[in-house]
């Protein structure tokens, strides 16, 4: 499996961050939505239109978050998801030449290993 490109990493982060921030910062009151639209664009909208804008933003943000989560779940189920930093390493103590492996059995590359002294390799 090749490492994801920086552009791919940024797109994945943005896929989680933008809709999440929209949901977190979106005002609950339609009057506030109308005021933000007026401040941002200079156009005035009615309260009912602001309520529809807010509802549309909530639906769009939740849909994008569900899509990103489903895509991540599919990658994870196929074994193509990137490893998370908190996944533990297991080192076999039975033989001296045992290489460290991840909890799911995949081998750990020497470049990714930050504890070479534990594995008997001097840096």
Please report, for the chain, the start and end positions of each structural domain, with discontinuous segments joined by +: 6-78, 84-123
Among the residue ranges 4-8, 31-35, 72-76, the one predicted with the least confidence is: 4-8
pTM assigned to the model? 0.56
| Alpha helices (H) along the chain | 6-25, 30-41, 47-78
Q: What is the pLDDT of residues 52-109, one digit of tens each?
A: 999 999 999 999 999 999 988 888 888 765 555 555 455 445 545 555 555 555 554 5
Collapsing DSSP to helix, strand or coil, 36 comes out as helix
- What local confidence, expressed as pLDDT, does residue 65 receive? 93
- What local confidence, expressed as pLDDT, does residue 60 receive? 95
Band (110; pLDDT cuts 50, 70, 90): very low
CB 31 within 8 A of CB 50: yes
Structure tokens given for 119: 């594995």
- What local confidence, expressed as pLDDT, does residue 72 receive? 86
């Amino acid at each position: 499996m090749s490492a994801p490109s920086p552009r791919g990493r940024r797109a994945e982060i943005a896929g989680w961050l933008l809709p999440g921030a929209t949901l977190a910062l979106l005002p609950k009151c339609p009057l506030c939505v109308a005021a933000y639209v007026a401040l941002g664009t200079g156009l005035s909208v009615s309260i009912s239109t602001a309520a529809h804008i807010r509802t549309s933003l909530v639906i769009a943000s939740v849909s994008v978050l569900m899509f990103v989560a489903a895509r991540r779940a599919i990658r994870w189920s196929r074994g193509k998801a990137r490893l998370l930093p908190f996944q533990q390493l297991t080192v076999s103590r039975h033989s001296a030449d045992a290489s460290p492996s991840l909890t799911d059995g995949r081998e750990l590359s020497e470049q990714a290993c930050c504890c070479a002294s534990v594995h008997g390799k001097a840096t």
